[in-house]
Amino acid sequence: QQQVRQSPQSLTVWEGETAILNCSYEDSTFDYFPWYRLFPGESPALLIAIRPVSNKKEDGRFTIFFNKREKKLSLHITDSQPGDSATYFCAASGGTGSKLSFGKGAKLTVSP
């Protein structure tokens, strides 16, 4: 059972546009939502994370919008650059859980 779902699976945007990657989850006990980014040939790395005490987290061109009632969140990448081309994973964990549940990932391509 997929606890974290992502859409779309792949997205292509033009340089300078805003890319929006969506994520939803099932478990209402989840209270930590990180996004990891994976460049081809490299290893996943934390990009940005949010906890439900806030409905928005911003870090430069990257912003997470969080809707607890609907169990949805989204990652917005403004002024997208070709260097942002990567696979983005939404993840979630809850309480004292030891595990992160990852989504299947979304492949973003930014065309110049």
Partner 1 sequence: EAAVTQSPRSKVAVTGGKVTLSCHQTNNHDYMYWYRQDTGHGLRLIHYSYVADSTEKGDIPDGYKASRPSQENFSLILELASLSQTAVYFCASSDAGGQDTQYFGPGTRLLVL
Binding site for partner 1 (CB under 8 A): 6, 9, 32, 34, 36, 38, 42-46, 49, 89, 93-94, 96-100, 102-105
- Lookup result for tokens 């859980």: 97
Whole-angstrom CA distances from 65 to 17, 23, 43, 96 are 18, 10, 25, 24
Between 3 and 78, CB nearer to partner 1: 3
Using the minimum distance from each CB to partner 1, give the nearer residue, 26 or 79: 26
Minimum CB distance to partner 1, residue 2 (Å):
9
